[in-house]
Amino acid sequence: MNFAIIIVDKAARRVNIILGPLMPEMECSQPRWIGNVILHLDLDSFFPSCEEMRDPALAGKPHAVIMTDQDNNGAITKGVVASCSYEARKLGVRSAMPLSKALNLCPNLILKAVDIPYYRQVSGKVMNILEEYADVLEQASIDEAYLDCTKKVIARVEGEEIGREVGIKEEISDKIAEYATKIKDAVKEQCGLSCSIGVGITKSVAKIASDFQKPNGLTIVYPNDTSKFLEPLEVGRISGIGTKTQQVLIQAMEIKTIGQLAKYDVQKLMDSFGRKTGLWMWQVANGKDNDIVSPREDNISISTEETLDHATSDKVKVLQYLNELVDEVYERVKTKGYVFRTVGVKLVRSDFSIETREISYSNLRNDKESIASVLERLVDRFSFANNNDNTSNGKVAFRKVGIKISNLTRLEGKKKPYQQKTLLDYI
């Protein structure tokens, strides 16, 4: 079967394109990046990875998260595989597989019951990180998201005062791999999770690319190479083309690859699948779909966080860091046209345990002082040591602080701008 791999060689300022297995390796100069910089991030084996964080002894072993009405306190004897580790996948275990079949394939499979509240908590941490790197963030599910990073990548280039001789567009090409790697590193360092990222000029290309070198992959499809990348891939790689549609394409139209779909008569596609779907399929195959990265619904909360340079148990320092976050979070609330009732503080200790405290007003507020004035009261509800050491009454010191504004309501008549929602809200 034909395949395509895009390999970035930053040192040589080039992209290696491998089309095969029948075609030889080709090499071309790295093109300018023309268009949006769209990333698709997919957390690798998310549920099992969360379980490995909770129980490191699972790492490297075949284990699975099971959808069942039984809990982890007793033996799990029935259910369906929600997800499994890569070690289990190598033995044939797959998502949606009945537990009985999974155990036949892997008798030593370690079983854990699905724990959605815990996965939501972990996913929320990822969301906070991605929000910092994206101009616009769209959460596709609990473990994947689209990021439009165009402005931030350009700002990064301009901020380093480069691109004057060879042009900003060329320098954007150089910086994309570096930027995507920073995101991967941040997710790994702060959340302990690996992820795969695909980068392209459209959401569909980025989505396909993110699945290309899992786990822990990074595949960048430069604009001029989009057709070469898509051409040999099976049509089923396109997100939105399901098994039944793929069967129709193959059996009735002899369309097996995305390249064949791109060359097919678009009118015949519209006649067979409807105008909207047929045109969309043809546009995706040609790398010309115009689906933008767009948050789907309203906020349930707005938050901001900061990782401290050094962990501390000093209440005064923690309060100081929180006060420095007030302007940022208030500006976001104000810009989005919200009033609010609840102000919360989140503190993360060095062992990654999370503690939160909240205060709710009896009426709606829209001023910065309503945030700043309650921080000290909230901080007083946490346990601190009497000096600045690495413990706090038997607990480890704090390494991250955050403010969350919730119970949000949009002002009447305020124009509704785009909104960002967490990965958690799409379960």
Total number of domains constituting the chain: 4
Range of the domain at 82: 46-116
Helices 168-191 and 150-159: angle between axes, nearest 10 degrees: 110
pLDDT tens-place values along the chain, 427 residues long: 333 444 444 333 333 333 333 323 334 445 678 889 999 999 999 999 999 999 999 999 999 999 887 766 668 888 999 999 999 999 999 988 999 999 999 999 999 999 988 998 898 889 889 988 998 899 888 899 999 999 888 877 766 544 444 455 556 777 899 999 999 999 999 999 999 999 999 999 999 999 988 899 999 999 989 999 999 999 999 988 888 899 999 999 999 999 999 999 999 999 999 999 999 999 999 998 888 888 755 456 788 888 898 899 999 999 999 999 999 999 888 877 788 889 999 998 887 788 899 998 887 888 999 999 999 999 999 998 654 445 444 567 899 999 999 888 765 444 343 334 433 333 3
Residue type, 404: K
Which of 66, 95, 116 is the endpoint of a domain?
Answer: 116
Inside any domain, residue 370:
yes
Global pTM value = 0.63
CATH of the domain at 340: 3.30.1490.100
Say which of 144, 171, 231, 305 is annotated catalytic.
Answer: 144
CATH of the domain at 62: 3.40.1170.60
CA gap 417, 128 in Å, rounded: 20
Q: Could you tell me which of 27, 44, 37, 46 has the C-alpha nearest to residue 205? A: 37
CA gap 340, 338 in Å, rounded: 6
Helices (H), 75-167: 86-89, 99-105, 116-133, 150-159
Active-site annotation holds for 306:
no
CA gap 342, 330 in Å, rounded: 13
**Do 225 and 332 belong to one domain?**
no
Dihedral of alpha carbons 96, 205, 276, 250, sign:
negative
Contact 235, 241 (CB under 8 A): yes
Inside any domain, residue 171:
yes
